[in-house]
Amino acid sequence: MRKKSILVNITININKLLGRLKEMKVLVTGANGYLGQGIVKSILDLGNDVVAADFKVENIDSRANRVECDLFDIQNPYLYFGQPDVLLHLAWRDGFVHYSSAHIDDLPKHYNFINKIVESGCKHIAIMGSMHEIGFFEGSVNEKTPCHPTTPYGIGKNALRDLAEMVCKKNNIVFQWLRGYYIVGNSKYGSSIFSKITAAVQEGKSEFPFTLGQNQYDFIDYDEFCNQVAATVSQNNVQGIINICSGHPEKLADRVERFIKENNYNIKLQYGAFPDRPYDSKAIWGDSIKIDKIMKTEKEY
């Protein structure tokens, strides 16, 4: 009986492993952007196929099937992109310009695109969200935390989450909302404070205007962010709102000073040059229970 039990367990584990390693076709929109480039690479590294779509595709990993297009002009995106198993929707204009009218103007286009690809056959929808959906809040954010966004960016993302969840529930398919937090990376092409500091250093500047930096946020390194997203969309056991995060808060000033030291930058912060934004929370971070479960399973494979 013991030998039989061991054989059964081995068979179950092999089947789980084979299921996890089954090659998936993931359609990534907005793939040429700052986040898209790293996420595409991470998904490919897990052994999946990637169809990478954007207006321009020159910075996307060459292993992907790169498609230059306007998403919103495609009548049947599911067939057009070769019947993907998963849609990872990263496309979004003016993500760091929180009061841009594009967040509201483009909302119907995003909804229509997602609705079309679901109705034509895609069974797994994952969309990049933002902690700015939450609005002013202090403490740990989980999937039940109420959202009261205060900017067009947060309002637009929050509305798309509700619409996409409705569409997925109606069609009984997988829905994942990837709520992103503060990404740390040294590419000058991003729009975060870390990218701006990198750009300033490359321009030869010795000082960088800064706030007092006392607010506490959830910071996650760029590579880890991309790996978490890739692992999340490569499975469907964990669904719903999933925080892509570190799970703990850190003062902005401390993380920026550490970033400068890590990269050996010769630049100093001008504390107090800018006021804190009135809509920024004093301390906010993501509950990491879901993403920890996903990453633990990923490591076991």
Contact 5, 28 (CB under 8 A): no
From the candidates 34, 78, 80, 153, give the one annotated as an active-site residue: 153
Closest to 134 (Cα-Cα) out of 255, 277, 288, 286: 286
| DSSP class per residue in 130-165 | EGGGTBS--EEE-TTS--B--SHHHHHHHHHHHHHH
Closest to 241 (Cα-Cα) out of 301, 165, 300: 165
Distance (Å, whole) CA 111 – CA 141 = 25
Distance (Å, whole) CA 137 – CA 126 = 25
Residues 6+ apart with CB under 8 A from 267: 197, 200, 201, 205, 206, 207, 208, 260
Closest to 116 (Cα-Cα) out of 163, 154, 64, 152: 163
Distance (Å, whole) CA 246 – CA 288 = 7
Distance (Å, whole) CA 257 – CA 252 = 9
**Residue 268 identity (one-letter amino acid):** K
Closest to 61 (Cα-Cα) out of 73, 72, 48: 48
Is 80 an active-site residue?
A: no
Contact 107, 161 (CB under 8 A): no
Distance (Å, whole) CA 294 – CA 278 = 35
CA 299 to each of CA 224, 236, 294: distance values in angstroms, whole numbers, following the listed order: 13, 16, 9
Residues involved in catalysis: 153
